[in-house]
Amino acid sequence: MVNDLDFAQRLIAWQKLHGRKGLPWQGTRDPYRVWLSEIMLQQTQVATVIPYYQRFLERFPTLADLAAAPVDEVMPLWSGLGYYARARNLHKCAQVLVTKHGAEFPRDAALIAELPGIGRSTANAIASFCFAAQTPILDGNVKRVFARCFGIEGFPGTPKIERAMWTLAGQLMPATDTATYTQAQMDLGATICTRGKPLCARCPLNDLCVANREGRVAELPTPRPKKTVPEREGIFLIMQSEHGILLEQRPPSGIWGGLLCLPELPAGADAAQHVQQHYGVTAQQWQELPALRHTFTHFHLTLRPLHARVTQLPAAMEGNLRWLAAADHAAAALPTPIRTLLARQR
């Protein structure tokens, strides 16, 4: 069994020499900035997050600024980052912190975890980085390091394996240098103990690692059990007028919640009749365009665009409809595949 203290001290020493130091959210104990980075980094690579993080803080430099803004101003800054419920929960959480906590994060990790959109590991990371709390984390990077170093078999997403890893994370947590240790775990998984092509020769734990010793690095962690990913498709209407392309704001929940989207044609409906009845738009010259396939976490979606020229505008626009000119595409809150379809029209 790996010595608990040895494990932590090796990681702390490695972090001080080789860990990442120049990320824009490092070097701060501001819970707002740490929280923002932790939420953005969920399921998203660091290189992708950095420009989003910087733009977000330029627009909302403080927690109070974010809470005071309408959610419609938040969503465009998340466009393209994916997993849009994160942005809605971020905004809701900011409002809860302002109204119920005096615009301050609780110092207790358990209380932080009760806030909208914040799970146990994220709450513990905030408490560790900002309040020097002795609170372990268990994100994907840590699970991968644990599975390999300790030879833990079984998919880490199952409740049994996750409970065991949480117990182990608590046992390994040092009494001091908690923020450095927390960052070390993240950095080791992101830069050394990677999913593919891990750099075992440079790992500070290589002589302790069960997977390295037994030649099982490629086997661990145990992959997610394979299952058939559903295939879906939808017809999306690209209706173009002199004012731009007609977009519809989607409901707050569900796929692309709160974002602007091309209207989707119900299955079996006639496009010309549907848009006349539901949007008051007369459109002609309907043309099928090349399809676009987009992969979500739990299904694949094939978008089949239909393009038309608008010959008669509606008498009045509904509140969730708007014309978007090509010049405004970059700043609009658009899902990535919709942005791709619109870019093809330029």
Average pLDDT value for residue range 102-120? 96
Average pLDDT over all residues of the chain: 92
Q: Do 203 and 287 lie in a common domain?
A: no
Categorize the per-residue pLDDT at 147 as very low, low, confident or very high, splitting at 50, 70 and 90.
very high
How does pLDDT run across 269-295, given as a tens digit for each residue? 999 999 998 888 899 999 999 999 999
Question: Is the pLDDT higher at 306 or at 297?
Answer: 306
What angle separates helix 140-150 from helix 178-187, to the nearest 10 degrees?
80
Euclidean distance between CA atoms 317 and 331, whole angstroms: 21
What percent of the chain lies above the pLDDT cut of 70?
A: 98
Whether residue 188 is predicted with pLDDT greater than 60 in this model: the reply is yes
How does pLDDT run across 253-269, given as a tens digit for each residue? 788 988 999 999 999 99
Tell me what pLDDT residue 331 has: 84
Domain that holds residue 254: 232-343
DSSP string, 74-142: HGGGGTTT--THHHHHHHHHHHHHHHHHTT---SSHHHHTTSTT--HHHHHHHHHHHH--------HHH
Tell me what pLDDT residue 72 has: 87
Whether residue 1 is predicted with pLDDT greater than 70 in this model: the reply is no
Tell me what pLDDT residue 285 has: 93
Tell me what pLDDT residue 281 has: 87
Task: Please report, for the domain that includes residue 308, its CATH number.
Answer: 3.90.79.10
Q: Is 162 annotated in the active site?
A: no
Does a structural domain hold residue 222? Answer: no
Whether residue 163 is predicted with pLDDT greater than 80 in this model: the reply is yes
Categorize the per-residue pLDDT at 27 as very low, low, confident or very high, splitting at 50, 70 and 90.
confident
Q: Do 131 and 245 lie in a common domain?
A: no
Euclidean distance between CA atoms 143 and 221, whole angstroms: 8
- The total domain count for the chain is 2
Does a structural domain hold residue 227? Answer: no
How does pLDDT run across 66-78, given as a tens digit for each residue? 999 999 899 999 9
Among 181, 214, 247, the domain boundary falls at 214
Average pLDDT value for residue range 319-336? 88
Does a structural domain hold residue 226? Answer: no
Taking the model in full, what pTM does it have?
0.84
Q: Do 237 and 128 lie in a common domain?
A: no
Catalytic residue among 38, 233, 248, 264: 38
Euclidean distance between CA atoms 151 and 147, whole angstroms: 5
Cα separations in angstroms, 36 against 10, 41, 125: 29, 9, 12
